[in-house]
């Protein structure tokens, strides 16, 4: 875990993240350095505050990169519940792409639900996935990111500027 000398840092688990543009927008408004972490090349805006991080192929390599750096003052955007659990434990603010924050009090239930759903899918009991991403989700993630960064600033963390 790394605490960046009182700076707010944003980490995006980018491979399947549908709200990268929304995250960039909120980070720019708050002057927050953003790391877009994936195991393949992806386009990002030309902005010195946004850094592309390409990790090697392999299971959980991007998750490990983020988890090793996420701590107090970090905001992480991910739909990956095990990664969210690791980051919450380290003290980071973690937000799902639908805007729902992961919290210490709820992460155990989220992990149990994820494991149950995975088991049900593997046995063929459930064949569908999550509901489709909606405009309401985009709005919710914008709000959740803004709330997290504002709270961190009030707690004494600063943007990069």
Q: Which residue, 76, 53, 74, is CA-closest to 6?
A: 74
Domain assignment of residue 122, yes or no: yes
Domain assignment of residue 39, yes or no: yes
Domain assignment of residue 159, yes or no: no
User: Using one digit for the tens of pLDDT, what is the confidence trace for 125-142?
Assistant: 666 666 677 889 899 999
Determine how many CB atoms are found less than 10 A away from the CB of residue 151: 12
* CB 17 within 8 Å of CB 79: yes
Dist CA 48 CA 98 (whole Å): 27
Domain assignment of residue 24, yes or no: yes
Domain assignment of residue 160, yes or no: no
pLDDT in tens, the chain (161 residues): 444 568 999 999 998 899 999 999 999 999 999 999 999 999 999 999 999 999 999 989 999 999 999 999 999 999 898 999 999 999 999 999 999 999 876 665 555 555 555 655 667 766 666 667 788 989 999 999 999 999 999 999 987 65
Domain assignment of residue 2, yes or no: no
Could you tell me the residue range of the domain that residue 41 belongs to? 9-154
Question: Which domain CATH number covers 140?
Answer: 3.40.50
Q: Locate 18 and state its tokens.
A: 């549908």
User: Using one digit for the tens of pLDDT, what is the confidence trace for 6-29?
Assistant: 899 999 999 889 999 999 999 999
Which residues touch 146 (CB under 8 Å, ≥6 apart)? 26, 29, 30
Domain assignment of residue 4, yes or no: no
Domain assignment of residue 89, yes or no: yes
Domains in the chain, number: 1
């Amino acid at each position: 875990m790394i605490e960046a000398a009182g700076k707010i840092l944003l980490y995006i688990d980018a491979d399947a993240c549908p709200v990268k543009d929304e995250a960039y927008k909120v980070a720019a408004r708050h002057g927050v350095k953003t790391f877009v972490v994936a195991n393949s090349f992806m386009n990002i805006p030309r902005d010195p505050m946004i850094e592309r991080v390409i990790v090697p192929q392999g299971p959980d390599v991007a998750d490990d990169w983020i988890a090793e750096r996420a701590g107090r003052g970090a905001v992480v955007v991910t739909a990956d519940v095990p990664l969210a659990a690791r980051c919450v434990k380290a003290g980071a603010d973690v937000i799902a792409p639908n805007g729902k924050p992961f919290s210490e009090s709820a992460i155990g239930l989220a992990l149990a639900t994820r494991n149950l759903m995975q088991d049900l899918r593997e046995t063929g009991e459930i064949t569908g996935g999550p509901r489709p991403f909606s405009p309401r989700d985009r709005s919710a993630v914008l709000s959740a990111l803004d709330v997290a960064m504002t709270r961190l600033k009030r707690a004494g963390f600063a943007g990069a500027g």
